[in-house]
Amino acid sequence: MIIPKFWAEGRVQHKEKGRQVTVRRLGWSQSSEAEAQSNADTRAKEALQRILSGEELVRLETRSPYNGAEGVPICEEIVAEHGETVITRNSYGARCLNTPDVLFADIDFEAEPGKATSCFFTLVLVIGAAFGSWKLGSVGWFIPLGLAGVVGGICLANGLHKLHLKLNGGAEKMANDRINAFITAHPNWRLRIYRTPAGLRVVAAHRTFAPNAPEVALLFNSLKVDPVYVKMCQRQQCFRARVSPKPWRIGVDSHMKPRSGRWPPRPEAVVPRREWIEAYEQKSTGFSACRFERETGKGVMNREVDKVIALHDELSRALSGLPIA
């Protein structure tokens, strides 16, 4: 897990026979802006040479705070550091806990059918529409029948998904059933379960884990953890949990400046960003990010993990009884 304190951009250009190639790369450092700039310039020059040799590379590297980041560390403001645990501010202003080895996993309730399911039923009905228009002997029928197939496929997928949830006791029960099944199969684990606005949060309390450990993949697959989160754990070699409310859930309608969440911000955005954060932090005191529900499993609490869990519970106000947002 790397969350640098200093960032810079390096840009190089190459002109040859009327052709211009521009390459931009980010650079980072834990010690100084100068080192970050040197890193950025070096990365830009190396990328240019690889592009000129025929390799297909992105020319202009984007400054993505977390979810879109690939090949670069987490590009977010560091709010606080507690040993190896780092608190950052994400692209929309909420604080997040980042840890290299304490296993956090959020499970979103299955409110809607998966894209694959919707696409399958839609494809079947559209093919049926094509066959129907052929049988009617008129290509003109394909457009209305095709549109009906698209709408029907989505409605059918939603209807079957709702029926599936109802027959199995609802999305929350299904998520808890997966947790219980995992603990039954792995009784020496110890899991802490929290309720979030959109699902459940699970923390492994009995030991630390490397993000690429097979046991982590096993838990992620068994509990159906968000695939984007799984991918980012692998890319950034860390686990992550939001510990303050989402702004729009607590009545903060305006966006943090700059809206892209760019870090570090341009000079003209520093003051508006600070003012937004002050207003957000004041309003967030009446809310929690999650609520502790229960513990399960026979594993013994790990002392080092317990420190991170205590920090998480304090920052997220998980034991406060406040409304979650």
The H or E element spanning position 208 is none
pLDDT of residue 183: 97
Average pLDDT in the chain: 86
pLDDT of residue 165: 47
pLDDT of residue 121: 46
pLDDT of residue 257: 75
Is pTM beyond 0.85? Reply is: no
Assess contact for 48 and 80: CB atoms under 8 A.
Answer: no
**Tell me, what DSSP letter sits at residue 107?**
E
pLDDT higher at 305 or 161: 305
Q: Rounded CA gap, 193 and 318, in Å?
A: 11
Could you tell me the two tokens for 91? 């692209």
Could you tell me the two tokens for 51? 């592009």
pLDDT for residue 11 is more than 60: yes
pLDDT, average across residues 112-120: 52
Spatial CA neighbour of 133 closest among 123, 122, 124, 144: 144
pLDDT of residue 313: 98
Burial 241-263 (b: 16+ CB within 10 A, else e): bbbbbbbeebebeeebbeeebbb
pLDDT one-digit tens code per residue, 178-196 = 999 999 999 999 999 999 9
pLDDT one-digit tens code per residue, 129-140 = 555 555 555 555
pLDDT of residue 163: 53
Q: Which of 170-179, 196-205, 238-247 has the least mean pLDDT?
A: 170-179
Instruction: Give residue 108's pLDDT band: very low, low, confident or very high (50, 70, 90).
Output: confident
pLDDT of residue 245: 98
pLDDT of residue 135: 58
pLDDT, average across residues 85-99: 96
**Tell me, what DSSP letter sits at residue 324?**
B
pLDDT of residue 287: 98
pLDDT one-digit tens code per residue, 33-58 = 999 999 999 999 999 999 999 899 88
- Say if residue 167 is exposed, middle or buried (CB neighbours under 10 Å; 0-12, 13-18, 19+): exposed
pLDDT one-digit tens code per residue, 262-293 = 788 888 889 999 999 999 999 999 999 999 99
Instruction: Give residue 299's pLDDT band: very low, low, confident or very high (50, 70, 90).
Output: very high
pLDDT for residue 118 is more than 50: no
Beta carbons within 8 Å of 153's beta carbon, 6+ residues apart: 118, 119, 120, 121, 122, 123, 124, 125, 126
pLDDT for residue 81 is more than 90: yes
Q: Rounded CA gap, 68 and 231, in Å?
A: 10
Q: Rounded CA gap, 196 and 199, in Å?
A: 5
